[in-house]
Amino acid sequence: MKKYFVVLVLLFLGVLVQAQINFEGWRVHLPYYKNASVTVAGNKVYCGSNSGLFTYDAEDGSIERLSKVSGLSDVEVKIVKHNVAKNISVVIYQNTNIDLIDHATNRIFNVPDVFMRSIIGAKSINHVFFYQNRAYLACSFGIVVLDLDKKQIVDSYQNLGLGGVQLAFFSVAIFENQIFASAANGIYVASLSAPNLSDFNFWVRTKISSNSGLSAVYRGKLYLTIDGSLEVYDGISYQSYGPTAGKIITALQLSAYESAGSDLLIITPELIFIEKGELLPQQALETFRLDAVYDKRGYLCMVDDNYGLTIVNKAKGELDYFIPNGPVAKTFGKMLYAQGKLWVTGGSVNDRWDPLMYNGSKFFYYQNHSWFNFRESEYPLLSGMSDFIDVRKNPYGNEMYLSSFGGGLIEMVGDKITAKFDATNSTLQRLSVVDTNYRPLLTGGMDFDNLGNLWVSNFGVNKPLSVKTKSGWYSFNVGTITGGNELGWLTCDDYNNKWVLSLRDRGVLIYNDNGTPENINDDQYKMLTKEVGQGALPSNTILCVTKDLRGEIWVGSSQGLAIVSNPRQIFSVKKEDYDARQIIIKVGSNFEIFLGKEQINCIKVDPANRKWIGTPNGVWLVSEDGYTVIKNFTTANAPLLSNNVIEIGIDESSGEVFFGTEKGIISYMGDASAGAKGFDNVEIFPNPVRPDFTGSVSIRGLMNNATVKVTDISGQLVYETTSNGGFASWDGRSMNGSRVSTGVYLIFAANKDGSQTHVGKLLFIN
């Protein structure tokens, strides 16, 4: 059978959906290769994974991502199943949160009861079975009954084991007016009309086993997996299902629509059995599928760990593959905007930088609303390299550098890998340990100094700091000042100081080579710590160091935020010259430290020199000096995938801000972009503004810090502002706060000295 790949980026409809994002809009950037659950609702196939849901419309061929941005309550989907009679899809998340998608009203209802319930031990929902107007959920603690009409939990049965012990159920089914619940130690049965199904005395273990799991009801028979084999119960006795003997059953799936054929799909790693109630089942030679279903056309739709959604196109005799465009993985190290692209390293390290994570996601970039992933199969030099964690661009050239926490350093020009640096052609060293078979080259943080030299931290070796210059490589021994040679992220300031994070909770190493990396005799280095007179940092556990557009150094620690205003004076003998300061704000009648002892995961500077600050409890946008909070996003007030914001990237051309969370990447269209050299490419969006538009008008492509004025056609001033870098916005209201009336409005822009100006027109329909 032929194979035919369909990628979302080639679908005009999908590209259009991605491209049109309003100012202050959100969109997700998640991988959709690995999917564990599939169902069909009308013309659409729904695929569920740790990245959420995506749909394929069999009628028009469009693909749509469903996420918190579109109204879902959570991210990591474990099960998605559709009830045809009620036209409702049940979405069950890994954390046991539940959403109901009511397709008749196009509304999403959240049912958080199980998620919010306190349970001793692990908590999970393992299976859903529809019966009349209810969904029966097999859970790690019992059975939960969900009423699809009322959109609420109406009952639960717990402690159903012998003597009332708690049991974990892996599936549930209703057959001949009885509830069959599969537990590890057997099949438990109770009459559906029993007076109290919460009482274990009404439950009987009818089949003893050491491993029971899946179940389904098909054509008057109950199918169950018991002790690794599939058995069929007809109400009297159990019989082994011969065709699957010796095979592992991964899923049992019923056809949702009669038009697709009333079949039972029995899915194994080797193939899919299609049970039609005949003498022998048919076989679909589709291997390693995790779940499958028929769509309304009768086409077999499958999901797996690699190819997104696979559909057997009977009309063409081909396999069609559908994968929404996205990064290859949810993990990330650092994000960097360079060369018109947002670069993201696909690896990660934990807070202790324990080597190694063995993350093979390589790296990827985002450009023109699409993700491009670098794969080992297409780039042989990446073979064996894992855990890419940092990325930097040469400010004086076109080279990009990416560091692998295990495999060294690569150099790229365009999309081509032009060099690889390791222990054979640089001063970078491999880790020396007792096991001679374990010799990783742990390159960590990187940055360029103001002379164009690339500095690299080299974890765990006797010379943990290296530099690549035009004349070659040099490495440096910092003695015992860091308490060991475990060095991490690295930032260069405007005064040739290298700020290198110590991973031994000793503070920050400051290294200055005096502009002569080849001569170690004139070098200086010291540690900044939490001690007054030695840095006055909030903590010795430093997680990030960022240089802003004024040259100040912002330091994020496990115990709060601090600013070093005079990095030039780091090696001064006067402690007041380099001790950090914290931001003190007035809260009511008290003065407090901004963010207190909050852990600071990352700090990124936008083109207006404002700071985006990522924490385990959401993200903050503050003014240039940090004293004014402009925005604060959490999962409570925004579609953040998680409150734990670990990394941030900023597309300086558009102002889009990317938040890397523990559940993946989501972006927000911000209001600051890099200033243009002129007013040649000013864009006003939307234009015209229609009556149903409730957002703000965005004005992009302005010169840096331009003065922007909005007037009516007669020249009366309606609104005035200064652009954030090259971006300005207008909420459509006049000076008195009321929405402006229908008409044509003029938008005037001028640079700081008024030497360059621009006039644009905007039609506003109220």
pLDDT tens digits for range 654-676: 999 999 999 999 999 999 999 99
Q: Which two tokens stand for residue 209?
A: 């086993």
Map 419-438 to HEC letters: EEECCCCCCCCCCCCCCCCC
Q: How many CB atoms lie within 10 A of CB 580?
A: 21
Q: What are phi and psi of 189, to 5 degrees?
A: -130, 140
One DSSP character per residue, 732-766 reads SB-TTSSBPPSEEEEEEEE-TTSSSEEEEEEEE--
H/E element, 19: helix 12-19
Q: Locate all alpha helices (DSSP H) within 525-643, ordered by sequence.
A: none
* Among candidate residues 455, 449, 361, 355, the one with its CA nearest the CA of residue 405: 355
H/E element, 690: none
Q: Which residues contact 716 (CB under 8 A, 6 or more apart)?
A: none
Pairing of strands 497-502, 508-512: antiparallel
Q: Which residue has the tokens 């692990």?
A: 122
The whole-angstrom separation of Cα 703 and Cα 682 is: 9
Q: Which two tokens stand for residue 297?
A: 């056309």
> Helix, strand, coil proportions of the chain in percent (round to 5)?
5, 45, 45
Cβ atoms 442, 387 nearer than 8 A: no
Cβ atoms 91, 83 nearer than 8 A: no
Distances in Å between the Cα of 379 and the Cα atoms of 366, 374, 419, 464 are 18, 7, 12, 28
Structure confidence at residue 1 (pLDDT): 43
The whole-angstrom separation of Cα 81 and Cα 142 is: 20
Structure confidence at residue 18 (pLDDT): 39
User: What is the CATH code for 683-764?
Assistant: 2.60.40.4070
Length of the chain: 766
pLDDT tens-digit profile of 9-38? 333 333 333 344 567 789 999 999 999 999
How many angstroms from the chain centroid is the CA of residue 615? 15
The whole-angstrom separation of Cα 212 and Cα 231 is: 11
H/E element, 597: none
Cβ atoms 492, 451 nearer than 8 A: no
H/E element, 467: strand 465-469
Distances in Å between the Cα of 352 and the Cα atoms of 355, 362, 439, 478, 501 are 9, 21, 19, 20, 11
Cβ atoms 657, 668 nearer than 8 A: yes
Domain 2-323 architecture: 7 Propeller (2.130)
Q: Which residues contact 754 (CB under 8 A, 6 or more apart)?
A: none
Nearest 5°: the CA angle 271, 266, 89 is: 120
Domain definitions of the chain by residue range: 2-323, 683-764
Cβ atoms 530, 579 nearer than 8 A: no
What is the radius of gyration, based on Cα positions, of the chain? 30
pLDDT tens-digit profile of 369-404? 999 999 999 999 999 899 999 999 999 999 999 999
Ranges of the chain with pLDDT below 70: 1-22, 256-261, 355, 434, 575-576
Structure confidence at residue 16 (pLDDT): 33
Cβ atoms 169, 183 nearer than 8 A: yes
The whole-angstrom separation of Cα 711 and Cα 555 is: 43
The whole-angstrom separation of Cα 339 and Cα 329 is: 22
The whole-angstrom separation of Cα 172 and Cα 266 is: 17
